[in-house]
A = this chain, B = another copy of it.
Amino acid sequence: MQPQKTTEEKIKEVARKIFMEKGYGLTRTRDIAEAAGINTALLNYYFRSKEKLFNIIIAESIKELFSTLLDIIENDKTDLSYKIDTVVNRYADVFLASPNLPLFVLSELQSQPELFFKQVGIPGNILLDSYFFRQLEEQLQKINLKIEPIHIFVNMIALTILPVIARPIMNHVHSMDSDGFSNFIEVRRKLVPIWIKDMLKLNN
């Protein structure tokens, strides 16, 4: 038997869904209240204001998107190849479960960049100082490729995330249903690590 959802959890759950679909500006507290089976008074009883509720949702979303990464890239026990496989696979899982998550976070960060600093508290240098980046740098030197590690990292994320972000266009130009989308992600789950390792001349 699952424990019953509290009203507070129910509100957060539907708020997350509606904020992701419509964005902050187009979401009305009434929509959230109605979808949660309550009223706006109760919503404000729990969260004080729409903005405070949104800040909780967006902070959790940002953390969901980045915590996926952090424990992988800071691990000094795993090699480069394993890290590439794991990052791509974890993100594929996250995106299949929450296809709207990346565009939601990116859009809100664009219109309110200060959210990143205020709500998350991930230091800016955590990526550049990571063990993963040191491993990338080492490998790039080994194959005598004079580019910054960030480019390889950007490539890995780009190849994984773009089909998710551009899903409406993919649906249009590739006539995809939701199964087609999942299949596409599954195919790329295998391909992206190969491409990234090729860029690094890592033997597969």
Residues of A at the B interface (CB closer than 8 Å) are 21-27, 100, 103, 106-107, 109-111, 113, 116-117, 124-128, 147, 150-151, 154-155, 157-159, 161-163, 165-169, 171-175, 187-188, 191, 195, 198-199
Residues of B within 8 A of A171 (CB): 113
Would A162 and B154 count as touching, CB distance under 8 A? yes
Q: Is the CB of A111 within 8 A of B161?
A: no
Contacts of A151 in B (CB 8 A): 187-188, 191
A-B contact pairs, 18 of them (CB 8 A): A23-B23, A23-B25, A25-B26, A26-B111, A106-B168, A109-B169, A110-B167, A113-B171, A116-B172, A124-B175, A125-B173, A147-B187, A151-B187, A157-B166, A158-B158, A158-B161, A161-B162, A198-B199
Question: Across the interface, do A154 and B147 meet the contact criterion of CB distance under 8 Å?
Answer: no
Question: Of B103, B159, B174, which is within 8 A of A128 by CB?
Answer: B174
